[in-house]
Structure 1
Amino acid sequence: MTGTDVGALFDAGAREFDAWSDRLWDRMGALTVEAADPRPGERVLDACCGAGASALPAARAVAPAGAVDAVDLSQALLDQGRRRAAAHGVDNLTFTAADVCAWPRPATYDLVQVVHGVAFFPDMDAGTSHLVRALRPGGRMVVTVWAEGALASLMTLLRQAVSDVTGRTVAPPGFQQARERIADADRTAAWLHRLGLRGVRTRRHDRHLPLDPATAWEFVLGNAARSMLDGLPGPARDRVRARLADLMERDALTRLDVSILIAVGHRPASGH
């Protein structure tokens, strides 16, 4: 998936994404910032920032002298973030539409944080290595990913619903396959160590949210899962929605696993 594709995907689902901010994204952002522990005066890069779920609490933590650069490909989500920052009087936070894999500020930041973003990089290893290089020596990086099993039940039923309506086999999207590479603590820690971080520690946060057919469809439209609907005309999408509801009833799916894994490590100081 290219950067243009990712940006367009989240632009299209911005309204539904926002509907899940209070119940999901903001809580994940707060947990990420708690693990990262930004300090007053620090400079922070929030990569794949979305609507600011982690950028906003980080900006409050580093104020007044610190600053946050928040970068994303979705202009619609960035606009949401700007409105939220203004509403909360946060003025040390800059939202920028750009490809963070080409962000041109090496060895600049005390902290780099990325929540659910690395799996969308065209090359997950190269993109994340670029973010590691954005850290000053001794700087910290926090990466939040879906934990093993998160979203799995709903995504399986969505693929089946699309397949039942279209008559074609629906493979897991590339970003889902990338997620699975780093879905447990050991794999995530080893991966980040290979990319240059040291002292990596991980923590899993288990959480489940109530789910019904209406909120399930809203969730699908508000995140990258909507890519499985690409190319389907409106009536076909309606049939997928109805089929998904039937499958959820069949399997008694009433809860969504939104468990996450948060990993924190540091870039070695010069000479180490």
Structure 2
Amino acid sequence: MTSAGIGTVFDSAATQYAEISPLLWDRIGAATVATAKVEAGDRVLDVCCGAGPSAIPAAQAAGLGGHVDAVDLAGELLAHGRRRAAAEGLQNVRFVQADATTWEGPAYDVVQCVHGVFFLPDMDASVSRLAGLLRPGGRLVVTTWAKGAMEDFGRLFAEAVEHVRQTPAAPPTSRHAVSRIDTEEDLHAWLTARGLTQVTVTRFPLHIPLDAALAWQVVLGSGFRGVLTGLEEPAVEQVRATFGRLLREREMTEQDATSLIGAGTRP
């Protein structure tokens, strides 16, 4: 999928993304910022920032003397982020619609990306470039799904799509990239290969109760939504109904959203 296509998918997901944030994205974002150890006065770049689940706590931690550049392709998500920052009274964060792969800025103290590196074209080169935006001693923090997280959910959703399409459902385009960095060992090695030192990987366990309504919100408020591209509304409704039935039949009542948070320092 192209960068423009990814932006379009997440623009359409904006409402549901915001609705599920307190259960999912906000909790992962807060854990990422805690691992990044954002301090007062820090300059932070938040890549693939969405509606700000990690940019907002980073701005709170950086304080008035710091600043957060929050960058994403999805304008609707950014609008949610701006409204949230205004409600929090934060004046040290700006949400910018831009391509992270060409972003230029000052030397940052922290560059962070929560569940976004696998959407970047050429993940390796893109993240190596982002590491280059850090000052010496600055910290790069990447959060990704742990092996097994979202997988049962994804398989059941794919089964529902295949039932309606009558053809195999194509997996999300990010799936291969995710699988390269979904263990502590693989994420540690990958960050080290980006030229970082003092690399650590922290597991953030997260399990959320699941019913058919919430499961469908997760589909519509995440990258899974892209799998529905090209389906007419009646077919989408069939997928929703089939997915709900499968969840009940398979007794899936919990969503594994465990993440790995990798951090490293630019020499």
Shared fold by TM > 0.5?
A: yes
Partners of 2:36 and 2:72 in 1: CA distance: 20
Q: Following TM superposition, by how much is the alpha carbon of 1:171 offset from its aligned partner in structure 2, in angstroms?
A: 3.1
Which residue identity lines up with residue 137 of structure 2 in the other structure? Answer: G
Whether the 8 Å CA contact 2:66–2:92 is kept in 1: the answer is: yes
Matched residue, 1:127 = 126
The CA distance in 2 between the partners of 1:243 and 1:13, in whole Å, is 20
TM-score (norm 1): 0.96
Structure 1 letter corresponding to 2:217: E
* 1:14-72 CA distance string (max 9 Å, x none): 11001111111111111011101111111110111111111111111111211111101
Alignment of structure 1 residues 68-147 onto 2, 5 Å: 68-105=68-105, 108-147=107-146
CA distance in 2 between counterparts of 1:20 and 1:171 reads: 24
Shift of 1:196: 1.1
| Bigger mean CA offset, 60-69 vs 258-267 | 60-69
Q: Which residue of 2 aligns with 1:248?
A: 247
Partner SS for 2:148: coil
Match of 2:8 in 1: 8
Contact 2:172 2:223 (C-alpha < 8 Å) held by counterparts: no
Aligned runs of 1:33-44 on 2, under 5 Å?
A: 33-44=33-44
Q: What is the SS of the residue equivalent to 1:22?
A: coil
The TM-score, its normalising length taken from structure 2, stands at: 0.98
Structure 1's unaligned 5+ residue stretches are none
Aligned to 2:233: 234
Where 2:170 maps in the other structure, the secondary structure is coil
Contact 2:45 2:112 in 1 (8 A): yes
CA-atom RMSD in angstroms? 1.0
**1:4 maps to amino acid:** A
* SS at 1:44 equivalent: strand
Over residues 63-115 of structure 1, what are the superposed CA-to-partner deviations in whole Å (9 max), with x where a residue is unaligned? 1211111101110010001001111110011110000111023x610110110
Tell me the residue number matched to 1:260: 259
Report the secondary structure of 1:168's partner residue. Answer: coil
In structure 2, the residue matched to 1:58 is 58
Aligned length: 267
Amino acid at match of 2:164: V
What is the CA distance between 1:232 and its match in structure 2? 0.5
CA distance in structure 2 between the aligned counterparts of 1:240 and 1:23, rounded to whole angstroms:
23
The residue identity in structure 1 corresponding to 2:84 is R
Map Cα deviations across residues 154-200 of structure 1 (whole Å, 9 max, x no partner). Answer: 11011111111111112322201211110011000100111111111
State the distance in 2 between where 1:171 and 1:88 align.
Answer: 40
> How much has 1:209 moved relative to structure 2?
0.6
Aligned residue for 1:206? 205
Any unmatched runs of 5+ in structure 2? none
Q: Which whole-Å CA distance do the structure 2 matches of 1:32 and 1:111 have between them?
A: 11
Q: How much does 1:5 deviate?
A: 0.9
- The aligned amino acid for 2:92 is N
Q: Whole-Å Cα distance in 1 between the matches of residues 140 and 262 of structure 2?
A: 8
Q: Retained in 1: the 8 A contact 2:48–2:72?
A: yes
